[in-house]
Amino acid sequence: MSEIPPQLEDLFKQLNPEQQAAACHDAGPLLIIAGAGTGKTTTLSHRVAYLIAQGIDPSRILLLTFSRRAANEMVRRVDALLRAMSAGRENTASARSRSIWGGTFHSTAARLLRRYGQAIGLPDDFTIIDRSDAEDLMSALRSELDLGNNGKKFPRKGTLLEIYSRCVNTCSKLEPILERHYPWCLKHADELKKLFQAFVDRKEKQNILDYDDLLLFWHALAADPAGGKLLRGQFEAVLVDEYQDTNILQSGILKNICPDGAGLTVVGDDAQSIYSFRAATVRNILDFPQEYEGTTVVTLEENYRSTQPILQATNQIIDEAHERYEKNLWSSKISGEAPCLVDCSDNNEQADFVVQQVLEHREAGIPLNQQAVLFRASHHSLSLEVELARRNIAYHKYGGLKFIETAHVKDLMAYLRLAENPRDAVSGLRVLTLLPGIGQKKAQQLINLLAESQFRFDAWSEFKPPAATVEHWPLFVRLMKNLSSPQSEKRGISAEVHQVRTFYSPLLDQQYDNATSRQRDLEQLEQVASRFSSRMSFLEEITLDPPSSTQDVSAASGADDDDFLVLSTIHSSKGLEWDAVYVLQAADGSIPSEMSLESEDEIDEERRLFYVALTRAKNWLYVCFPHRQYFQNRRWNQAHSYAQLTRFVSPKTIPLFQRRPAFSADALDTPQEAEIETTAEDIRKNIRNMWSA
C-alpha cells in the first residue's frame, strides 16, 4: 500500500485497513473482493480521490458501473471528498469531479462511438433501440423471410434475440450456443443464421444500434491497433464496479484498453454473480489474477450492514459453494436476533405470516419501505399480493415489466425516436399503427414513401388517409414536421414530450381502460425530460438506463412517495438493503429453480442468488418454507405436492437459524366453547317449514 497523501489523511481515517490498502494501491492491476455490505462504494470513491490526488487528470479516469445511478452516486461521493481536500475551492473541486467519465458500459460505449465512431465508418447520428424494439424487429424479419410458417415449431421473438445476444456477448459461434442452451433449436441453425444476417443488415440500413451493437462496436474500436491506441491515450485509470457481472465481450474491451492491467481496478464479489442468463460469467472475476500477471487482491470482510447472527448463517451457506474466493464476513454488531426459518403449512399461511410480521414491525417503528419481501420468480408473490390488497397495505413490486417497457411509454418514445432518426422503421411502424384505420400493410407503404422522399415528413401530407384516420392524420403529420424542425430542439425536450403527449392522449384513451394512470406516467416522464439538454441525450439515458418503475420516475422528478412495502425478485434486489427481509418459497424447485438443476454451475449460481437475498437484511431475516404447494394456488383445490426445504439450508446451516412455525397454537383463532341448544337440523327444519303448505 502506498502512503496516504497528506491532504487525504483525515478523510481516509474512516476507512478500515483493508479499505485503505485498496484505495491507496499504486501500481499494477488491482482486484477488490468486496463482500456484501463491506463498503465497496466508499472504497471505490476513495480510490478515485486518491488517483486524482496523485495527479491523474479526472478526465482520464473511466468509472464503469452497471447503472447510471450507481455512477452518479460514486461521482457525488468523489465530489464531496475533493471539496474537503480543496478547502475553499469548491467550484474547482466540482468541475474536476464532473469531468470523470462515469457511466454504464452501454452509455460509455454510446459516448465513445459518438466521438470516434466515424473512424470505423459508423455515422454519429445513430439512434439506440431497446430490447423490446429489437425483438419486434427480429419478429418482423422472421415474417418477411417466411420462417416458422410451415407448421413446425420455431423460436419466438424473445428467444431469437436471446440466442443472438448470447452469441454476441460470449463471442461464440451459433452452433455451440444452441447445443448448450437451446438444443431444441439446433435443427433451425441455418434459418437462424439467415435471420441474424438480415437483422444486422436491417439495423445498418436504418442507422440503429441495439444494446449488443454498442459493445460490439466499442470492442472492435478497442481491438483495432489505431483505435486501441486512441482509447489507451484517453484513459489513464479504469475502474469497474460489479466485475462479477461482466460478460466475455466486456472483459475483452477492458483487455484491449488495459492490456497489461496497468491502471485497472475491478471490484466485485464472486458470491454475488447471478446474471449468467444475461451471458455474464463468474469466470471473469475468478480468473482475473491469471489474466493479469502481478494482480494485487484485497479482500473486504468487515460488514457494515448486517448483524453477526445473520452473517454467521450466510457465511455458512456460501462456504458450501464449489469454487469461490475465501472470505469470512464479520460485523461489529454482535447482538441481534438469529435469522428465522419459518415453517408454513402452505402459500396462504406464508402470506398470512408475512403480513402479520410486517405490521408488527411497523408498529415497532420500522416503516414499510424499510421492509422487503424477496422471491425467486415473480409469481411466487401472488398469494401475498392478494392478502396485501385485502388488508389495504400499500406495496410496490419490482422485477416485472420496467417502466420504459410499458406500452404507453414505448409509444411516446417512438414518436421522439422517429423524429430523431426518420430511418428508424421500427419506431415508424409503431406510431403509424397507433392511428385508427392504419394496419401493418398501410404503415409499411408509408414507411416506403418516407424513404423515397429522402426522409422528409412533409411527403406524408399528400397521403389520403382512410376514413377512420381523417381526423388524426393532419395533426400527426404536423406533429412529426414540428418535431423534426430545427426550432423544436430550441424549445427543449420537455416541450417536445408535451407535444407528443397532447397528440397521443386521445389515442391512449381509446386503447386502455386504465388510461388515467397511464396519463400520469407520461406527465411524470415530461417532468423528467426537463432535466435533459437535448432529445438525443434524453433518448439515450432513458433507453440505456431506464427507470424500473413509476416510483423511480417520481423520485427523479422530485415527487414524494407514500410509504409502501417493497416486493422484489431477488435479481432486482441486488445492491439494496432493508431492516427486515422476508424470503419466500425456500423450497427445492423454487430456489434452486427446477429449471436450473442440470449442472453444478447452475446450482452454484442459484446458491449465490439465495445468498444475495439473505445478505440484504440488516437486522431481521425471515426465510419462509411452505410445506405444501397447492396446484393453481387454490386452497380449496386439494391437489397438492409436499415440498422439500431448499438444499441451501443444509444440516450445518439449520442450527444457525431459529426455527419456528408461522403461528403458535395460541395465536390461532379457536371457537369459543358454549352450550348451544340449536342444531343445524333444527335450522333446516325451520327453513323447510317456510315452503310447506
217-220 own/partner pairs: CB under 8 Å, 24+ apart: 217/109, 217/113, 217/117, 217/120, 217/122, 218/108, 218/109, 218/112, 218/113, 218/253, 219/249, 219/252, 219/253, 219/256, 220/120
- Strands annotated E in 289-386: 296-300, 340-344, 371-375
Nearest CA to 50 among 27, 81, 76, 74?
Answer: 81
Cβ atoms < 10 Å from Cβ of 665: 7
Cis (ω within 30 of 0) for the bond into 58?
Answer: no
Sign of the Cα pseudo-torsion (669, 674, 678, 679, in order): positive
558 marked among binding-site residues: no
365 marked among binding-site residues: no
36 marked among binding-site residues: yes
User: Could you tell me if 322 and 601 are in contact, meaning their C-beta atoms sit under 8 angstroms apart?
Assistant: no
Nearest CA to 402 among 542, 520, 539, 524?
Answer: 542
Q: How far apart (Å, rounded) are the C-alpha atoms in residues 584 and 28?
A: 44
38 marked among binding-site residues: yes
Q: Please give the full DSSP string across 617-677, using - where no structure is assigned.
A: EEEEEEEEEESEEEGGG-TT---EEE--B-TTS-TTTGGGSEEEESS-GGGS--PPP----
Q: Look up residue 619 and give its amino acid.
A: N
34 marked among binding-site residues: yes
Place of cell 399461511: 349
35 marked among binding-site residues: yes
User: Could you tell me if 522 and 412 are in contact, meaning their C-beta atoms sit under 8 angstroms apart?
Assistant: yes
CA 462 to each of CA 432, 455, 471, 507: distance values in angstroms, whole numbers, following the listed order: 15, 14, 15, 23
Buried-state track 522-559, b at ≥16 Cβ within 10 A, e below 16: bebbbbbbeebeebbebbbbbbbbbbbbbbbbbeebee
SS (H, E, C) 578-625: EEEEEECCCECECCCECCCCCCHHHHHHHHHHHHHHHCCEEEEEEEEE
Place of cell 474536476: 96
Task: Read off the C-alpha cell for 674.
Answer: 358454549
Q: How far apart (Å, rounded) are the C-alpha atoms in residues 562 and 368?
A: 10
Euclidean distance between the first and the last CA atom of the chain, given in angstroms as a whole number: 102
Cβ atoms < 10 Å from Cβ of 95: 13
Q: Which residues are annotated as a binding site for ATP?
A: 34-41
